[in-house]
Amino acid sequence: MPIKSVMRGSALNLAHGAVNNAPIGVDSDDNKLYIVPAGTGTTLVSVHDSSSTSITTLNVGAVNGSTVSAVEHGSGFYHVTVLTLTATPLTLADATVGAGVKIYDFPVGQITVLNASGSVAETTTSAIATTLNSGVTYNWGVGTVTQSNGTLATTEQNIINTTNGTSSTTINVAAAASSSTQTVAPLAYNGKSTAIDAFFNVGIAVATDIDADATTTWTGTITMSWMVNTNV
């Protein structure tokens, strides 16, 4: 089976079967190569066939809420996190013309977001005529702070840049999906003392498009490629 991913170190010496004189070996139960200094196991690489996916549990973050799930690809250093939102509830407030909800906590450390993308569909579950109006334009993004106004900007959309979508025209019926990506260069965030959060944010740019607090749900995926340095 081919090696799918490798975390290389200057002391790696597979030819002699040791790393810094510690024994190494492949565990046939989980197909991982281990360094075993003094009887403890530390994952070095994942070995698997081309039909499988590299999954990691090292230095991963945590989802927020029962309607968000995560699949964590990569290694302890490099990650691709795929978040699935399944009817994630969000009450869009008339006063702030929108809302935000935390969907992910990154692990503690220096976080560098390399790339991100997403696709979500909105469903209005409150009376359309008197809350969020029919077929109006919303803007959504993912950022490191929660939404505070109808037009998302700066840290409200610094992971996935704001883009427009169209709301439901029929109550409890999903509107068309809206997609967006990160268009800025990779950004580093210092989460050593306080872990960095990722918020799914929605704003209604035209205040008259929302007449009262609207209950909505959101379904789709958010994919984030990122690196973590825990030694800062």
What domains, with CATH codes, occur in the chain? Answer: 3-47 (no CATH), 62-229 (2.60.120)
Give Cα 55 distance to the centre of its chain: 15
Per-residue confidence of the chain (232 residues) as pLDDT tens digits? 343 333 333 333 333 344 444 444 444 444 444 444 444 444 443 333 333 358 999 999 999 999 999 999 998 899 999 999 999 999 999 999 999 999 999 999 999 999 999 999 999 999 999 999 999 999 999 999 999 999 999 999 999 999 999 999 999 999 999 999 987 888 899 999 999 999 999 999 999 999 999 999 999 999 999 999 987 6
**Residue 121 and residue 219 in contact, taking contact as beta carbons nearer than 8 Å:** yes
**Residues ≥6 apart with Cβ < 8 Å to 15:** none
Please tell me the total number of residues recorded for the chain in this structure: 232
**Residue 178 and residue 167 in contact, taking contact as beta carbons nearer than 8 Å:** no
The backbone torsions φ and ψ at residue 6, rounded to the nearest 5 degrees and listed phi first, read: -135, 135
How far apart are the C-alpha atoms of 195 and 189, rounded to whole Å? 9
